[in-house]
Structure 1
Amino acid sequence: MDYLPVCLKLDGEPVLLVGGGEIATRKARLLHRAGAVLTVVAPEVSAELTDLVGDSARVQRTPWSPEKPLDQFRAVIAATNDTAVNAEVSQVCRAANLPVNVVDSPALCSFIIPAIVDRNPLLVGISSSGASPVMARRIRSTLETLYPPGYGAAARFYGEQRDRVSSEIAEEGDRRQFWEAIVDSPITDLLARQEVAEASRRFDRALEDPGALIHGAVYLIGAGPGDPDLMTFKALRLLQRADVVLYDRLIGDGILELARRDADRIYVGKQRSEHAMPQDQINQALVDYARAGKRVARLKGGDPFIFGRGGEEIEGLMKAGIDFEVVPGITAASGAACYGGIPLTHRDHAQSVRFITGHTRNYELNLPWAQFLNPAETLVFYMGLAGLEIICRELMAAGRAGDTPMAVIEKATRPDQRVITGTLSTMHRIVEETQPAAPTLLIIGSVVTLHESLGWFNGTSSDDD
């Protein structure tokens, strides 16, 4: 270990910053957040740095001089673009046993400043010991996605409860187990969402009865249309927390691999006339696992509330008194349209968009077809492949032109995505020839003509020529 990570308290403490340019300003922002009282020495000082320092008496627009007294400072930062000046600052400070940091010169530093994830009072520092700052920043970016800003509020709350817990739980081992259970419980999520009253109530109950911490929850997660990179930070964080994952058929390759390796994975997918688990059994399974103290990820393709039956599932959770969170996902229409180069709305083509279920019952599709005739409105049919012939026929019978452009997007946002284009009158024949497989999405409207110029995704396009 080249360095010992240490958190230095600088709130209200004097710190000398040598330099007044962009590099110095970046360091000044960080020191200002830590509450340091800065003195800046440089021939020229940026306006932002002057504002950060505040008192003009602490801005000395003069060159650095080794004769300046340093005993009043707790630390020194050298952030000039003059290597000789930086080396001299380091030499003087080391001789005075004063902590010194020289930007981008680890050999001249007695301490270094890591990349920081700031969830005050919770802080995470990532250091490469000066070898690769870019790698440290990359790791910080990853951690930023895993720990939301609200974790700082949770840490503050727990800090306020430490004395109380110490007085209630005498044994150190018992206290440690209590805190471990608390931090992993839904109380942390409640605090992160600023639901302090409910979090306090549960904390009080847990302190009286530690068994109350065995408390499951369900995360209804929209996994997006297929590409794992389209999942939200929150979706990824909750998925990696889950003990049990119930997942659909439409979950894209690679998404399930983001779950914890020790999590139980249960397939509950549905396809036409074949349900791995009926919906009522899915609803009950969510309740049962949560009541057993499990954290359950209900992983759904697209968005849970757009033809995803998410509303039915949370109704059951609410009736059972189970904690749950709903995480929106990028719905298939947005993902398919963007990756296929088909804007759902466009000033010259469509001023509105309508999402419609194309799911048939007994080979019938009863929809208000007469409402779908506006040529300035894009129609998007989910689950419409089996009923494609009905959809095309009924739209034309209602009055929509047979030459209306149409696209069938197969396996949207995935590496093997395919965009098949045609018209209302020709698409049924084209689909018979090209044989797309689910999942598919139908887009109808003049915006489909933009696919040829905007379709940047490396899929295969087929039309009616």
Structure 2
Amino acid sequence: MRLFPIFADLEARLVLVVGGGAVAERKIKSLLASGARVRVGALEAGDAVQELARQGKIELLRGSFEPDWLEGAWLVVAATDDRELNRHIAALAGEQKRFINVVDDPELSSFQVPSIVDRSPLTIAISSAGSAPVLARRVRERIESLFDHTLGSLAALAAGYRQAIRQARPDLRRRREFYDWLLDGPVADALRKRQPSQARQLLEDELRNPQAAIAGKVILVGAGPGDPGLLTLKALRALNEADVILYDRLVDGEILELARRDATQIPIGKIPGEDHNATQARIHSLMLEHARQGRLVVRLKGGDAFVFGRGGEELQFLREHDVPYEVVPGITAALACAAYAGIPLTHRDHAQSVRLITAHCRQDTFLEDWPSLARDKQTLAFYMGVSQLDWLSEQLMSHGRSGDTPFAMVENGTRSNQRVLQGSLKNLAELARRHEMKAPSLLLIGEVAALAPALEWFGASIRQD
């Protein structure tokens, strides 16, 4: 470890910044956020720096660098584009035993300004000792995705009750258990739901009347259509916190690789031809079983749980059995597959609406809907329609949709093996058979599908007239 990590209390302490440009401006704002008194010395100062001086937030010295600018400073930041001047300032700072950071010049610096993950009062600092700032930034971005922004509120709440916690839990082991409960239990949940008063009440109730066991809960998480990069930050955090993951058959293995390593992973996806009601009953049973054992259960669904995913049924079941739950939306297949095929679902010239339809239902369900489905100037997105292509195309054309209407069929959308079949509605079923299109595939019908050849950017494309 070449650098010794340290967090400095700069409240009301003087810091000198030499330079008045954009780089200096960023450093000044960070220092002000930490409560420092900031003195800025520069020949020229940008508008933002001058405005801070007018507001009385900084002391601004105009002119060439003078050694007496260092007087009283605890830290020094040199942010000029003149390396000889920076070297001179660094030498003077060293003689006066003042730590100095010369921006983008680790050789002249006695301290480095790290990349920051700010969850005040919790602060995470990342440093590459000035040798690879881009790497430090990448690490910061990764860490940012792991911690909810309410973690700072949780830390502040815990700090306010620190003495009460020590009195209520004098035993170190029990105190550690309490903090685990605080981080993983209903207090953190309440803060994530922006309910600070409830969070405070839950903490106080637990201090007065400790619960015998931590209650479990279920997080309903949409995994998106396949590409792990489309996971939301909240979905990634849930996967990293889960004790048990109940995942659908179509959830990509690369997504499961992002989960907490010691989590129990249970496949529960429905398989074509089996009794789906019996499978759903098993899903309900597993959620209830593990939640009642105090575990954090992630119910991981492909796409979005509320778009043809039975998410509503699962929440109803959890509510009936008094199991706490959260919902983390996912990117549904229609949005993602269309985007990865270069197809806008709506367009001023071609489609003023979009309809999401499941083809996996009784055929008489559509009897009253066919005339409206056959209208032009709209986009139809059919889920689970691979086995229904003859019927779908025949019904649309018989109710007035032109056989020349463009379609795009997206197989394995957003994944490395994505294929997009493009053609005319009248040839849909025959072309899909010829090219052996398989599930999971999303079918898009409408004028916007004709834009795919010009706008495509991902995966393989098969165009047929």
Tell me which moved more, 156-165 or 200-209. 200-209
Task: Provide the rounded CA distance (Å) in 2 between the counterparts of 1:94 and 1:416.
Answer: 59
Task: Provide the rounded CA distance (Å) in 1 between the counterparts of 2:52 and 2:115.
Answer: 21
How far residue 424 of structure 1 moved from its aligned partner, in angstroms, is 2.4
Alpha-carbon spacing, 1:254–1:316, altered in 2? closer, same or farther (3 Å): same
Give the gaps of 5 or more residues in structure 2.
none
Look up the equivalent residue of 1:357 and give its one-letter code: T
Q: TM-score, normalised by structure 1?
A: 0.95
Aligned to 1:75: 75
Aligned to 2:141: 141
Aligned to 1:51: 51
Task: Provide the rounded CA distance (Å) in 1 between the counterparts of 2:147 and 2:332.
Answer: 25
Task: Provide the rounded CA distance (Å) in 2 between the counterparts of 1:274 and 1:410.
Answer: 23
Q: Determine if contact 2:345/2:448 at 8 Å carries over to the other structure.
A: yes
Aligned to 2:118: 118
Tell me the SS of whatever aligns to 1:254.
helix
CA distances 1:218-270 after superposition (whole Å, capped 9, x unpaired): 11111111111111111111111101111112212411111112111111111
Task: Provide the rounded CA distance (Å) in 2 between the counterparts of 1:434 and 1:212.
Answer: 60
Aligned to 2:259: 259
Q: TM-score, normalised by structure 2?
A: 0.95
Task: Provide the rounded CA distance (Å) in 2 between the counterparts of 1:108 and 1:261.
Answer: 42
Q: Determine if contact 1:360/1:386 at 8 Å carries over to the other structure.
A: no
Task: Provide the rounded CA distance (Å) in 1 between the counterparts of 2:436 and 2:257.
Answer: 29
Q: Determine if contact 1:306/1:331 at 8 Å carries over to the other structure.
A: yes
CA distances 1:104-135 after superposition (whole Å, capped 9, x unpaired): 22232222211111111110001112221111
Look up the equivalent residue of 2:281 and give its one-letter code: D
Aligned to 1:397: 398
Equivalent pairs: percent with the same residue?
Answer: 42
Aligned to 1:337: 338
Q: Determine if contact 1:206/1:213 at 8 Å carries over to the other structure.
A: no
Q: Determine if contact 1:32/1:52 at 8 Å carries over to the other structure.
A: no
Q: Determine if contact 2:374/2:397 at 8 Å carries over to the other structure.
A: no
Aligned to 1:346: 347
Task: Provide the rounded CA distance (Å) in 2 between the counterparts of 1:389 and 1:176.
Answer: 62
Aligned length: 462
1:186 matched to 2:222? The reply is no
CA distances 1:281-313 after superposition (whole Å, capped 9, x unpaired): 212211221111111111111111111110111
Alpha-carbon spacing, 1:289–1:74, altered in 2? closer, same or farther (3 Å): same
Tell me which moved more, 335-344 or 99-108. 99-108
Tell me the SS of whatever aligns to 1:386.
helix
Tell me the SS of whatever aligns to 1:274.
coil
How far residue 58 of structure 1 moved from its aligned partner, in angstroms, is 1.7
Task: Provide the rounded CA distance (Å) in 1 between the counterparts of 2:30 and 2:3.
Answer: 20
Alpha-carbon spacing, 1:422–1:105, altered in 2? closer, same or farther (3 Å): closer
Aligned to 2:234: 234
CA distances 1:139-191 after superposition (whole Å, capped 9, x unpaired): 11111111122211111111111011112122234323321332232322322
How far residue 93 of structure 1 moved from its aligned partner, in angstroms, is 1.7
Aligned to 1:195: 195
Tell me the SS of whatever aligns to 2:357.
strand
Aligned to 2:455: 454
Aligned to 1:322: 323
Task: Provide the rounded CA distance (Å) in 1 between the counterparts of 2:128 and 2:397.
Answer: 65
Tell me the SS of whatever aligns to 1:285.
helix
Task: Provide the rounded CA distance (Å) in 2 between the counterparts of 1:102 and 1:212.
Answer: 55
Q: Determine if contact 1:185/1:213 at 8 Å carries over to the other structure.
A: no
How far residue 364 of structure 1 moved from its aligned partner, in angstroms, is 5.5
Tell me the SS of whatever aligns to 2:421.
strand
The CA RMSD over aligned residues, in Å, is 1.8
Task: Provide the rounded CA distance (Å) in 1 between the counterparts of 2:364 and 2:385.
Answer: 12
Aligned to 1:445: 446
Give the gaps of 5 or more residues in structure 1.
none
Aligned to 1:168: 168
Tell me which moved more, 323-332 or 46-55. 46-55
Q: Determine if contact 2:37/2:58 at 8 Å carries over to the other structure.
A: no
Q: Determine if contact 2:52/2:58 at 8 Å carries over to the other structure.
A: no
Alpha-carbon spacing, 1:227–1:213, altered in 2? closer, same or farther (3 Å): same
Task: Provide the rounded CA distance (Å) in 2 between the counterparts of 1:336 and 1:126.
Answer: 36
Task: Provide the rounded CA distance (Å) in 2 between the counterparts of 1:281 and 1:198.
Answer: 34
